[in-house]
């Protein structure tokens, strides 16, 4: 419910995040994401889906929020959903897992 009422999602983590599912959830709802450069976050945010800012940098975080507020977010939402559906679907994850297992067999 909160995702649908939002224009952008912000994850201002200070330290390591493995693969924060909350970013994928927000992106699946078509939200651009702004997150700090910690853990696996940079691997998730790509292709214009969002912005990565340094941890503990409130100025960079605020600038990223302002920059997204000036963009056409409705057009961006469809592209963000497409990227998440393509890259993080169950089918894609199962295929990757099988490939990893096959490397060791």
Q: How many residues does the chain have?
A: 105
Q: Looking at residue 16, what is its pLDDT?
A: 77
Q: Which phi and psi (to 5°) does residue 83 adopt? A: -65, -45
Q: Looking at residue 61, what is its pLDDT?
A: 96
Pick the CATH number of 9-104 from 3.40.50.800, 3.40.50.2000, 3.40.190.150, 2.40.50.220: 3.40.50.2000
Cα first-last separation, the chain? 44
**Predicted confidence (pLDDT) per residue in 43-76, tens digit:** 899 877 899 999 999 999 999 999 888 777 777 8
- Domain ranges across the chain: 9-104
* Distance of alpha carbon 68 from alpha carbon 8, whole angstroms: 8
**Predicted confidence (pLDDT) per residue in 9-41, tens digit:** 999 998 877 889 999 999 999 999 999 999 999
3-class SS letters over 53-100: ECCCCHHHHHHHHHHHHCCCHHHHHHHHHHHHHHHCCHHHHHHHHHHH
């Amino acid at each position: 419910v909160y995702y649908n009422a939002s224009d952008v999602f912000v994850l201002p983590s200070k330290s390591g995040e493995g693969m924060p599912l909350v970013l994928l959830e927000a992106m699946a709802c078509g939200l651009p994401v702004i997150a700090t450069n910690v853990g696996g976050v940079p691997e998730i945010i790509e292709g214009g889906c969002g912005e990565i800012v340094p941890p503990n940098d409130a100025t960079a975080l605020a600038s990223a929020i302002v920059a997204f507020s000036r963009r056409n977010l409705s057009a961006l939402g469809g592209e963000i959903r497409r990227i998440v559906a393509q890259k993080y679907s169950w089918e894609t994850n199962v295929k990757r897992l099988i490939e990893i297992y096959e490397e060791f067999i």
